[in-house]
Amino acid sequence: MCGEMASTDSDQSGNVSTVVVETGTVRQQLSRLLKESLKATLTDGSDVEPLVAICTAKFGDYQCNNAMGIWSKIKGKMTEFKNPNSVGQAIMKNLPQSNMIEKTSVAGPGFVNIVLSNLWIAERIRQMLIDGIGSWAPVLPITRAVVDFSSPNIAKEMHVGHLRSTIIGDSLARMLEFSKVEVLRRNHVGDWGTQFGMLIEYLFEEFPNWEELGEQAIGDLQTFYKTSKKKFDEDSAFKERAQQAVVQLQGGEEKYRKAWQQICDISRKEFDQVYERLKVTLEEKGESFYNPYIPRVLQELNEKGLIEESEGAKVIFIEGQNIPLIVVKRDGGFNYASTDMAALWYRLNEEKAQWIIYVTDVGQQLHFEMVFSAAKRTGWLPINNDVPYPKARHVGFGLVLGNDGKRFRTRSTEVVRLVDLLDEAKNRSKQELIDRGREDEWTAEELENAAEAIGYGAVKYADLKNNRLTNYTFNFDQMLDVRGNTAVYLLYAHARICSIIRKSGKDIEELKKAGSIQLNHENERLLGLHLIRFSEIVEDSCTQLLPNTLCEYLYNLSENFTKFYSTCKVVGSEEETSRLLLCEATAIVMRECFKLLGITPLYKL
Which regions of the chain carry the CATH code 3.40.50.620? Answer: 144-190+285-400
Q: Count CA within 13 A, CB hemisphere, residue 131.
A: 12
Contact call for residues 50 and 64 (beta carbons, < 8 A): yes
pLDDT value, residue 555: 98
Fold of the CATH domain 6-116: Gyrase A; domain 2 (3.30.1360)
Ordered DSSP codes for 420-438: HHHHHHHHHHHHHHHHTTH
pLDDT value, residue 381: 97
pLDDT value, residue 5: 43
pLDDT value, residue 8: 55
pLDDT value, residue 4: 45
**SS3 annotation, 509-564:** HHHHHHCCCCCCCHHHHHHHHHHHCHHHHHHHHHHHCCHHHHHHHHHHHHHHHHHH
Which 3 state secondary structure label does DSSP give 185? strand
CATH of 418-597, one of 3.40.109.10, 1.10.730.10, 3.40.50.720, 3.40.50.920: 1.10.730.10
Which regions of the chain carry the CATH code 1.10.730.10? Answer: 418-597
Question: What residues of the chain score a pLDDT lower than 70?
Answer: 1-21, 45, 78, 409-416
pLDDT value, residue 491: 98
Contact call for residues 188 and 240 (beta carbons, < 8 A): no
Ordered DSSP codes for 336-365: HHHHHHHHHHHHHHTS--SEEEEEEEGGGH
Angstrom distances, CA of residue 257 to CA of 15, 151, 203, 241, 379:
76, 21, 13, 16, 36
pLDDT value, residue 17: 40
pLDDT value, residue 15: 41
C-alpha–C-alpha distance, residues 223 and 198, integer Å: 14
- pLDDT 10s digits, 35-63: 999 999 987 767 899 999 998 777 899 99
Contact call for residues 332 and 324 (beta carbons, < 8 A): no
**Quick one: CATH architecture of 144-190+285-400?**
3-Layer(aba) Sandwich (3.40)
- pLDDT 10s digits, 476-528: 999 999 999 999 999 999 999 999 999 999 999 999 999 999 999 999 999 99
Which regions of the chain carry the CATH code 3.30.1360.70? Answer: 6-116
